[in-house]
Amino acid sequence: MKKAMEVIVQVKFVWGLFFAASVIIYTIINMLLGNTSIELIAVWQLLLLTIVIVFIHYLIFGEFILTDLSIKKKIFIHFPLCYLTILVFINLYGWINITSFNTILTFSGIYLFFYLSIVNSLYLYYKITGEELNAKLAIYKQNKKSSK
**Which of the residue ranges 19-28, 56-65, 88-97 would you say has the lowest mean pLDDT?**
56-65
Round to whole Å and give the CA distance between 3 and 9: 10
Round to whole Å and give the CA distance between 90 and 86: 6
Q: Of the ranges 6-15, 17-26, 76-85, which is most confident?
A: 76-85
Cβ neighbours for 18, distance < 8 A, ≥ 6 positions apart = 50, 53, 54, 57
Confidence of residue 148 (pLDDT cuts 50, 70, 90): low
One-letter amino acid for residue 111 of the chain = Y
86-115: average pLDDT = 88
Averaged pLDDT of the chain: 82
Q: Residue 85's closest CA among 111, 103, 63?
A: 111
Q: Please give the C-alpha separations between residue 112 and each of 48, 60, 108, 147, in angstroms, as whole numbers.
A: 22, 19, 6, 52
Round to whole Å and give the CA distance between 37 and 55: 29
pTM above 0.75, yes or no: no
Q: Residue 53's closest CA among 20, 27, 29?
A: 20
Q: Of the ranges 11-15, 64-68, 97-101, which is most confident?
A: 97-101
